[in-house]
Amino acid sequence: MSDRRDATSLFASLFVGIFFSLMWCSRAFAHASDRGHVLLLPTHYYLFGGMLAVALSFLVLVFLPPEGLLRLSSQRLPIARIRFDGRGFVSCLSALFLAGLIYTGFAGSRDPLSNPLPLTVWTLLWVGLTLFQGLAGNIWAWLNPWYGPWRLILRLGVPSRGFLRLPRAIGMIPAVLLLFAFAWFELIYPAPDDPARLAIAVLTYWVFSMLGAVIFGYHGWSRRVEFLTIFFTMISRLSLFSLRRETGRSRVLFVGVPGHKLRDTAALPLSGILFLLLALSSVSFDGFMRTFLWLGAIGVNPLEFPGRSAVVLPNTIGLLSMFAALCTAFLLAVRAGNALAGGEPPRRAAGHLVWSIIPIALAYHFSHYLVAFAINSQYALSALSDPLMQGWDLFGTADMYVQAGVALGAESAWKIWNAQAFAIIGGHVFAIIVAHMIAHRLYGGRKRAGLSQIPLAVLMVLYTVFGLWLLSAPTGG
Amino acid sequence: MSEDRILKLDRRNGLSRRTTLKGLGAAAGLIAAPGFVRYGQAQSSAPIKIGFQCHRTGIGAAYGRWYERVTAAAAKRINDAGGINGRPLEIVIEDDGTDPKRGAEVVEKFANQHKVDLVYGTLFSHVVVGSAPAAGELKIPYYVVSEGYHVASGKLNRYCVQPGITDVKAQVRSVAPWIAGNLGKKVTLVYPDYAFGHDHRDFFEPAIKAQGGEVVAKVPIPPTETSFTRYFPQIPSDTDVIYHVMVGPAVLTFVKELGEFFGSGGPQLFGFIDSLEAVDIKSPGLEFLEGSHFWEGMPRYAQPDQPDYVTAYREAVGIDENGASTGDAKDISTAAHMFGCWETLNIIKASMEACGYRGPEDRAAMIEATEAMTEMEAGPDHPQGKKLFNGKTHQVFGEQSISQVSDGKLKVVHRTSIEDGSYEPEADYTTMSF
């Protein structure tokens, strides 16, 4: 009991500390929408405060007995018993919905802010669902548009394990390549929002993945190739809820502290580590490629951005470089940690510790896409109500006035910046805690675990500062 | 069909369904009413299709949002009044991503896939310059709303016209007489060190000299700069007026640091609202602008003496007395530029009616009809003010507003004349073949 109280008070003191460091700044500057207003905010205090908060939380963890934290994270409360498995049915509905969306991509408005396809893919799915998965759990297991159709295909006599086996040696490499293609399409391709082009891309990928699930078996395919399932499943490990199979179709829904599922997750193979780090580096690069620093480095006047088509090559190189840099930094940090801890290094330390990146990835996702989500989700609600521009009003939202003002003006900028900063700092503090718990399991003993985490903690402190700088630096493009 | 399209367009702008349907109802009533025969008499009731090359995504998206709202409002007004030559107007939007390469693709798509009658609505200069050759090759009229000097310079082709908004050269020239006469004759230019800033520098210096003034210093600022105090000592102490045209995210920082440098004194300030278009003048950091002057294409704030047609225009496009969206007080409009969409669509209508436009075979005749235009009176079709179109340069010239920041709002203190900004034609598109 006292251990639990210790852990609870630790969480509380960390977050209260961050909260007060932010509030202290708010007195100096009560008010700021876009980057112009943010440039007037005392963001350097946040960078310093964030650095301090993450570093201090590491120090606190090093000197605090880990048992309370470990016990707290192992607590799970059953909250509901689910006696049916509706995944197949919901997934079929989802596939039908996707078919409808693809149709609207071809036949609906040419305006990317009126056509539901780009708004659903880029805003509701890539941003909204990711955040939902991170908080509430793996709803993608129900929503993905392949599982249900695959179950139907099984009824035709197709074997559930498919006809062929994916070679073991390739690990998750196909998923890494597909995630890279996805990130490249989103960040670098000149027209990812174009409804017809996106419809072709989505249709091609759906057919490709459906064929893959049939040929190689759904489970193998969705664990090693289908990057959306892999990504969403990874993110959902941060959520409060988990589902455990009991007997037959009956399953129990548990609730626990955030990240309780990350503690004892199996190690990822090298390709899985690369996958997770690619997810984080792509969102990071999305911010970085707009900064004056990057635009200046590739010889582009940030006040006269020439359009995406002019920067395809440098940005491709930039994305790859950021990925390479992050992977190198992470793997070196784990290696240095092994050296500091001394003794026999644990097997697959990097594969275990990489799970601590999940809170950071989710925090980056939230902070980076907050403004776009606030506005484009409104466009999405409006577009979904009249998907083919026929004057329908399916959900009563076709005529809603899109409030761009939620992200405009000094006051909004102030609120948005605080939310972003809080998420970035909180995500890193959380990552430190998760990494610490994993380290205890891997290295055993407080001293070894603490020593092993010094390099990774330094990396996380630096990434906190980098994340806050990305959100406060002048941008163009 | 056309009503559907306009309905669709209106919806995306948040105009209420009721308003839209009311408009449609009125239009439908007009067709049936005795004595109203325009739709009925037209040889064809097929819609006139206008391809709207819109900056829906990319760096121009904030402008694109307002250009679309004004386009929707202007198209609705035209359709409510019976369309063009009795034919309804249909707007087809394509997003160019504020990217010149995509801009050219969009023009091609409009011509070959959507088969529109003309392309319209582009703002950003680099997209205009990138798209214009495609319009010329495809022989499709290209009505831009960009204020760039590229049309009047003669660099484009006969299919490219800019009849709804004055170009930057005329804007700059038009303010020089008032600056020399009211703020002072010794001017220091502070500008970003690239094409946009160079245009201001090159256009303003001869214009102020012609007024007996002089540019006492030029302070170019590197585009990547975000801190400005170290440049301010370059401003000579005998400067009467600082002419500033900074743009980009660091504008607020620029103004704040200027205020910190000069304190409560310092020279007069004259700026272009381009720096702060869609930004609230009352934003923290902009306090130093109080009392300073700005060029505005069209006033952002409702003026006490504004004509009824200006009030009607503001209501139609949905802006309140502060120039913000009537449905969202924090969404400040791009008032100084977006009127150009309204006026350009009215000129397209007038040109098509003048040449009896029937279809793509009359595209050249339509351009000639626009070229033949001269004076345009201020009124519901031209709410920004009186204009004079030069058929040779394909560029319109208009009156401009000079406004003073007073209590955090822009108050018009002077209207320049068309003559203040006009210059000798430097090109003659009419000699080019179609």
Question: By CB neighbour count within 10 A (0-12 exposed, 13-18 middle, 19+ buried), where does A31 fall?
Answer: middle
For residues B417 and B345, state if they share a domain: no
pLDDT tens digits along B164-205: 999 999 999 999 999 999 999 999 999 999 999 999 999 999
pLDDT tens digits along B403-427: 999 999 999 999 999 999 999 999 9
Residue B328 located in a structural domain = no
CATH assignment at residue B22 = 3.40.50.2300
The predicted structure's pLDDT at residue A54: 94
- Evaluate if residue B68 carries a pLDDT over 80: yes
A80 closest CA partner among A239, A254, A250, A249? A254
For residues B354 and B410, state if they share a domain: no
CA distance B208 to B185: 8
Residue B174 located in a structural domain = yes
For residues B211 and B352, state if they share a domain: no
Q: Do A304 and B94 touch (CB under 8 A)?
A: no
Whole-Å CA distances, A167 to A7, A268, A399: 44, 17, 52
Residue B410 located in a structural domain = yes
Cβ contacts from A onto B, under 8 A: 169
**Tens-of-pLDDT digits for all 477 residues of chain A?**
344 444 444 444 444 443 333 333 332 222 223 789 999 999 999 999 999 999 999 999 988 888 888 888 888 899 998 888 889 999 999 999 999 999 999 999 999 999 999 999 999 999 999 999 999 999 999 999 999 999 999 999 999 999 999 999 999 999 999 999 999 999 999 999 999 999 999 999 999 999 999 999 999 999 999 999 999 999 999 999 888 877 777 888 889 988 888 877 899 999 999 999 999 999 999 999 999 999 999 999 999 899 999 999 999 999 999 999 999 999 999 999 999 998 888 889 999 999 999 999 999 999 999 999 999 999 999 999 999 988 889 999 988 888 888 889 999 999 999 999 999 999 999 999 999 999 999 998 889 999 999 999 999 999 999 999 999 999 986
Q: Do A304 and B331 touch (CB under 8 A)?
A: no
Q: Which residues of A touch B92 (CB under 8 A)?
A: 110
The chain B residue lying nearest A409, using CA atoms, is B330
B434/A contact by beta carbon, under 8 A: no
- Evaluate if residue B25 carries a pLDDT over 80: no
* Parent domain of B218: 169-296+400-421
For residues B280 and B414, state if they share a domain: yes
The predicted structure's pLDDT at residue A264: 74
| Residues B252 and B285 sit within 8 Å (Cβ to Cβ) | yes
pLDDT tens digits along A127-138: 999 999 999 999
For residues B141 and B287, state if they share a domain: no
CA distance B66 to B63: 5
- Evaluate if residue B235 carries a pLDDT over 80: yes
Q: Do A112 and B56 touch (CB under 8 A)?
A: yes
Q: Which residues of A touch B196 (CB under 8 A)?
A: 303-304
For residues B190 and B138, state if they share a domain: no
Domain count, chain B: 2
B60 closest CA partner among B109, B11, B110, B121? B121
The partner residue sitting opposite A111, judged by closest CB among B93, B280, B324, is: B93
Give the 3-state secondary structure of residue B362.
helix
∠ Cα A32 A33 A39 (to 5°): 55
Query: Considering chain A, what is the average pLDDT of its residues?
Result: 90
Element (H, E) at B401: strand B401-406
Give the 3-state secondary structure of residue A173.
helix
The partner residue sitting opposite A190, judged by closest CB among B56, B97, B330, is: B97
Q: Predicted ipTM? A: 0.87
CA distance B382 to B395: 15
Q: Which residues of B touch A409 (CB under 8 A)?
A: 280, 283, 330, 332
CA distance B322 to B299: 10
The set of residues, in sequence order, having a beta carbon less than 8 Å from that of A157 and lying 6+ positions away, is none
Element (H, E) at A52: helix A43-63
The residue-averaged pLDDT of B115-119 equals 97
For residues B83 and B186, state if they share a domain: no
| Residues B158 and B434 sit within 8 Å (Cβ to Cβ) | yes
Give the 3-state secondary structure of residue B297.
coil
For residues B278 and B405, state if they share a domain: yes
A44 closest CA partner among A459, A468, A426? A468
| Residues B101 and A309 sit within 8 Å (Cβ to Cβ) | yes
The predicted structure's pLDDT at residue A356: 95
Closest-CA distance of chain B to residue A382, Å:
8
Residue B317 located in a structural domain = no
- Evaluate if residue B12 carries a pLDDT over 70: no
The predicted structure's pLDDT at residue A445: 83
pTM: 0.89
Residue B231 located in a structural domain = yes
- Evaluate if residue B110 carries a pLDDT over 50: yes
| Residues B286 and B255 sit within 8 Å (Cβ to Cβ) | yes
Concatenating the DSSP letter of every residue in A224-250 gives HT-HHHHHHHHHHTTSSEEEEE-STT-
For residues B183 and B132, state if they share a domain: no
Residue B202 located in a structural domain = yes
The predicted structure's pLDDT at residue B114: 94
Residue B304 located in a structural domain = no
Interface test with B, best of A26, A41, A113, A400 (most B CBs within 10 A): A113
Give the 3-state secondary structure of residue B86.
coil
φ, ψ at A169 (rounded to 5°): -65, -25
For residues B364 and B394, state if they share a domain: yes
For residues B9 and B91, state if they share a domain: yes
A302 closest CA partner among A35, A30, A11? A35
For residues B9 and B134, state if they share a domain: yes
Q: Which residues of A touch B283 (CB under 8 A)?
A: 32, 37, 409-410
| Residues B10 and B18 sit within 8 Å (Cβ to Cβ) | no
Question: By CB neighbour count within 10 A (0-12 exposed, 13-18 middle, 19+ buried), where does A386 fall?
Answer: buried
Whole-Å CA distances, B141 to A121, A409, B78, B391: 35, 38, 19, 14
The set of residues, in sequence order, having a beta carbon less than 8 Å from that of B419 and lying 6+ positions away, is none
Whole-Å CA distances, A2 to A58, A67, A123, B318, B425: 21, 10, 44, 61, 86
Residue B78 located in a structural domain = yes
